[in-house]
Amino acid sequence: MKAIGFKTSLPIENEDSFIEFEIIKPKPKGKEILVKINAISVNPVDFKIRQNSAKDIVLAEPKIIGWDAVGIVEAIGDDVSLFKVGDEVFYAGDVTKQGSNATYQLVDERIVGFAPKNISNTEAAAMPLTSLTAWEILFDRIRISKEKDKGKSILIIGGAGGVGSVAIQLAKKIAGLTVLATASRNETTDWCKQIGADHIVNHKDLMNDVRKAGFEHLDYIVDFVDTNDYWDIMVELIKPQGHIASITGSSEPIVLNKLKSKSVSFSWEFMFTRSMFQTDDMIEQHHILNKISALLDSEQIVSTVSHTFKSFTVENLKEAHKLLESGKTIGKIVIEY
């Protein structure tokens, strides 16, 4: 089977930043399903791993990354109970295993959902990783209640990016929150409004913009940009007893004590926690993806695909990484097979 990967971490412009190669098509065991991939999408985690996982070393075998795919179940392991051959599925996968930049991939059935039926493969491929992340941060980490928390306010830092674009929709349409999202360019502002943000605030003048929008404090703040950079302003803007959550990690220690007098909570969301630690509730990702599928099919939320490449080639994958590394993309970049 064809795959694309790398043996050493190189700048995307380098000839060998991605290479194409052939490997043997794997066989599913246990709870694994083998998926014939029809489309993939790229995420910031992809280029972070490409840039850092093989620094100053050359791997014996090329590393295959990529964590978003839609495809058809081609074979199943002995313990598979959720899917059968021929099912259309979508998933993000497991960062500790081979990624989706290949024509076939093995994936644990518990982290796979049925693909939406009323939208294209391209539209579906954009969704798994960002939807899982956005769903988990809102409903599993912050534990926003769709019944009790209606009408509360949330600030989404990084509204137009992949995760932000799903978080805006889920926060607005599923949780019923009032959504403030950061955006600064005209395109990102329009996009965030279009998918449901009630107020657009500029990250360059965040405090004033939030106050101008009529908010002294926010019930929830989710950060998809930089926890260290936004710490002090989040401390200021969060409501007493509020909840801040982030996916970015923090390179510097945090003055956590600043949240104490307000009794504020903070959560990290890392979409790979469940598969990495094989948690007892790993199957939640199957359920979440099925809910996302239903929301897409019923048009309660829309796909966030914004760029499409028409074939799975080294050139297109390089181009997709280049775009993503620019930090300027809106929504998601998909590669069709």
Enumerate binding residues for a second copy (CB under 8 A).
136, 140-141, 143, 227, 240-241, 245, 249-257, 259-270, 272-274, 276-277, 279, 281
Decide whether 49 or 302 has the Cβ nearer to a second copy.
49
Q: Shortest distance, CB of residue 198 to a second copy, whole angstroms?
A: 20
Q: Shortest distance, CB of residue 251 to a second copy, whole angstroms?
A: 7
Q: Shortest distance, CB of residue 265 to a second copy, whole angstroms?
A: 4
Would you state the structure tokens that stand for residue 153, as one six-digit string? 């306010």
Q: Shortest distance, CB of residue 40 to a second copy, whole angstroms?
A: 24
Q: Shortest distance, CB of residue 308 to a second copy, whole angstroms?
A: 31
**CA 4 to chain CA centroid, nearest Å:** 21
Decide whether 204 or 260 has the Cβ nearer to a second copy.
260
Decide whether 257 or 326 has the Cβ nearer to a second copy.
257
Let me know if 166 is exposed, middle or buried by CB neighbors in 10 A (0-12, 13-18, 19+). Answer: buried
Decide whether 8 or 265 has the Cβ nearer to a second copy.
265
**Residue (of 157, 179, 133) closest to 234 by Cα position:** 157
Let me know if 182 is exposed, middle or buried by CB neighbors in 10 A (0-12, 13-18, 19+). Answer: buried
Decide whether 18 or 220 has the Cβ nearer to a second copy.
220
Full DSSP string of 177-243: -EEEEE--SHHHHHHHHHTT-SEEE-GGGHHHHHHHTT-S-EEEEEESS-HHHHHHHHHHHEEEEEE
Q: Shortest distance, CB of residue 317 to a second copy, whole angstroms?
A: 26
**3-state SS class at 157:** strand
**Residue (of 273, 261, 328, 238) closest to 92 by Cα position:** 273
**Residue (of 47, 19, 63, 48) closest to 315 by Cα position:** 19
Decide whether 118 or 241 has the Cβ nearer to a second copy.
241
Q: Shortest distance, CB of residue 148 to a second copy, whole angstroms?
A: 11
Decide whether 175 or 305 has the Cβ nearer to a second copy.
175
Residues 6+ apart with CB under 8 A from 90: 69, 70, 71, 112, 113, 114, 115, 116, 124, 125, 127, 128, 289, 293
Look up residue 331 and give its amino acid: G
Q: Shortest distance, CB of residue 145 to a second copy, whole angstroms?
A: 10
Decide whether 109 or 136 has the Cβ nearer to a second copy.
136
Rounded to whole angstroms, how far apart are CA atoms 167 and 172?
8
Would you state the structure tokens that stand for residue 90, as one six-digit string? 């979508």
